[in-house]
Amino acid sequence: MSRAKFNNAKIKGICCAVPNNPISIEEMVKPYFDENYVKKTINIIGAKQLYYAKEGQTTSDLGYAAAEKLIADIGWKKQSIDGLIFISQTPDYILPATSCILQDRLRLPITTLTLDINLGCSAYIYGLFLAKQFISARTCKRIILIVGDTISRKVSPKDKSSVLIFGDGVSATAVEFSDKNSLSSFILKTDGSGATSLIIPAGLNRYPSTKETRSEKKDQDGNIRTDEHIHMDGMEIFGFSLREVPKILEEVIELNGWTSMDVDKLLLHQANNFMLKHIAQKAKIPMDKVPLNMDSFGNTGGATIPFLICDKLKDEIKINKLRVVMSGFGVGLSWGAAAMELSDVFCSEIIYV
Amino acid sequence: MTNFEKIALLEEMMELGEGSLSEETVLADIEEWDSMAALSLIFLMSENFGKELKGPQIRKLKTIKDIIDIMV
């Protein structure tokens, strides 16, 4: 099993950015769906407002803004940064890697290690794991981890399985060496047999873009999208999450030497509120330990956990020690969980770019 | 679990009053039977019967009796 423990790397600060372009879901889908159905579903899923990238705005534009503010807020000298990890499914180009572009744009030294990774819902857990791994191996001392997407470009407004859920947002997290930090534990898993449950079927190399892949089709549930739009089989994803997430939570809590009683907050990938409540119930973690903020930002893919921290735990983790368990799960299928103590973490105000 | 108890579980799941459903009730006729109710059914089956229900199975369900038959 892929598992790791670290005791010499800590999260120093987090900053999150959304496009300055709020979208009311109810307004957006009015032309396509029954009003009562939409109201009821919004109520259950939880997302009310989303942010959509403006014309010409990319994931790296948001990542750049978040990282620039974060570095200034925590007072890091750029020359002291030696790692930049960018995890996204909506990079700026097929090539070169967006992390290379960000290294230059952020004016980080050329001694910086940069890396692009293609992951979604599980991205933050994998990203923190990698950052801590590089630091623990003394490869790097200070890493900027940028996680997020501008997925709105791939969402069909006529597909209720995605338009009521996904929004844009990007996070930047500073991770650094610390010899007085407490233990953190990670578990990482993959099941590629579920790849088609959450997929953009066409538009790249397997099925290149053609007139056919760009034409709208109606599925058995009445949703309309093209093969170049994101397609989620909600039932499969729900079944997978319900089966795997409670299990990995239990495993990571044990790996960190805790019991579920020790956990102050459970930070779940904000997939949808309905699912999170069922996961928490199955994992026997009371909902007062499970913050939710789907209503404000929707599901921003890999960025939901840092958004949740900046939005809901900002003041608490500046002063107090908070024992948290995080889990990201979804597209891949890829999932992971981490247990750690957060303290003295600086959360910048969420910025609107 | 008796069929009566299973129906009661389904009524509770869809937030319907007692006696709203019978074995003959056609799912397509229930206003509350929608994609979210299908997710609730996945949870109910997992919690109460330790069974993992898949999308294609759910799409084949036509009546309450069809659901009762898999609640074992």
Q: Domain coordinates of chain A in residue numbers?
A: 2-177, 184-343
Question: Residues A129-151: what's their mean pLDDT?
Answer: 97
Considering only the beta carbons, identify the residue of A40, A41, A235 that sits closest to B55: A235
- Exactly one of A181, A223, A273, A299 is catalytic; name it: A299
Matching residue, tokens 């979210």: B36
**Preferred mutation among A40, A238, A281 to probe B, highest tally of B CBs within 10 A:** A238
Residues 6+ apart with CB under 8 A from A142: A76, A80, A81, A82, A83, A174, A175, A176, A177
Fold of A2-177: Peroxisomal Thiolase; Chain A, domain 1 (3.40.47)
Phi and psi of A209, rounded to 5°?
A: -65, 130
Q: What pLDDT digit, counting tens, does each position of A275-287 carry?
A: 999 999 999 999 9
- Residue among A161, A272, A164 nearest A223 (CA): A161
Q: Is B38 on the interface with A (CB under 8 A)?
A: yes
Matching residue, tokens 């549930």: A221
Calpha distance A18→A353 (Å, rounded): 6
- Residue among A28, A40, A39 nearest A155 (CA): A28
Under a CB-based contact definition with an 8 Å cutoff, are residues A348 and A13 in contact?
yes
Would you state the pLDDT for residue A123? 98
Residue A169 clears pLDDT 90, i.e. is over it? yes
ipTM of the complex: 0.86
**Strand A9-18 versus strand A351-352 pairing type:** parallel
Residue A181 clears pLDDT 80, i.e. is over it? no
Q: How many residue contacts between A and B have a Cβ separation below 8 Å?
A: 41
Q: Is B42 on the interface with A (CB under 8 A)?
A: yes
Under a CB-based contact definition with an 8 Å cutoff, are residues A317 and A350 in contact?
no
Considering only the beta carbons, identify the residue of A41, A239, A274 that sits closest to B54: A239
Q: Is A175 exposed, middle or buried (0-12, 13-18, 19+ CB in 10 A)?
A: buried
Instruction: Please give the C-alpha separations between residue B29 and each of A261, A302, A316, in angstroms, as whole numbers.
Output: 45, 39, 49
Phi and psi of A196, rounded to 5°?
A: -80, -5
A243 to B46: CB separation less than 8 angstroms, yes or no: yes
Torsion sign, CA atoms A302, A305, A308, A314: negative
Q: Is B48 on the interface with A (CB under 8 A)?
A: no
User: What are the tokens at A96?
Assistant: 């070169």
A44 to B36: CB separation less than 8 angstroms, yes or no: yes
Range in A65-74, A156-165, A174-183 the model is least confident about: A174-183
> Is A278 a residue of the active site?
no
B54 to A221: CB separation less than 8 angstroms, yes or no: no
**Backbone φ/ψ region at A290: left (φ over 0), alpha (ψ -120 to 50), beta:** beta
Calpha distance B67→B6 (Å, rounded): 9
Q: Binning pLDDT at 50, 70 and 90, where does residue A81 land? A: very high
Q: Binning pLDDT at 50, 70 and 90, where does residue A37 land? A: confident
Q: Distance, in angstroms, between A37 CA and closest chain B CA?
A: 9
**Preferred mutation among A161, A223, A235 to probe B, highest tally of B CBs within 10 A:** A235
Q: Distance, in angstroms, between A236 CA and closest chain B CA?
A: 6
Would you state the pLDDT for residue A348? 97
Question: Residues A105-123: what's their mean pLDDT?
Answer: 98
Q: Binning pLDDT at 50, 70 and 90, where does residue B56 land? A: confident
Q: What pLDDT digit, counting tens, does each position of A189-246 carry?
A: 999 999 999 999 999 999 999 999 999 999 988 899 999 999 999 999 999 999 999 9
**Preferred mutation among B35, B54, B59 to probe A, highest tally of A CBs within 10 A:** B35
> Is A121 a residue of the active site?
yes
- Exactly one of A269, A272, A273, A293 is catalytic; name it: A269
Q: Is B52 on the interface with A (CB under 8 A)?
A: yes
Number of domains composing chain B? 1
B35 to A238: CB separation less than 8 angstroms, yes or no: no
Would you state the pLDDT for residue A111? 97
Residue A254: which H helix or E strand, with range? Answer: helix A234-255
Position A316, amino acid? E
Range in A90-94, A101-105, B33-37 the model is least confident about: B33-37
Chain B environment of A275 (Cβ under 8 Å) = 39
A239 to B53: CB separation less than 8 angstroms, yes or no: yes
Under a CB-based contact definition with an 8 Å cutoff, are residues B54 and A235 in contact?
yes
Would you state the pLDDT for residue A221? 82
Under a CB-based contact definition with an 8 Å cutoff, are residues A339 and A132 in contact?
no
Instruction: Please give the mean pLDDT across all residues of chain A.
Output: 96
B46 to A242: CB separation less than 8 angstroms, yes or no: yes
- Exactly one of A121, A140, A310, A347 is catalytic; name it: A121
Would you state the pLDDT for residue B1? 87
Total residue length of chain B: 72
Q: What is the CATH number of the domain that holds B52?
A: 1.10.1200.10
Calpha distance A301→A271 (Å, rounded): 8
CATH 3.40.47.10 fits A184-343, yes or no: yes
Position A18, amino acid? V
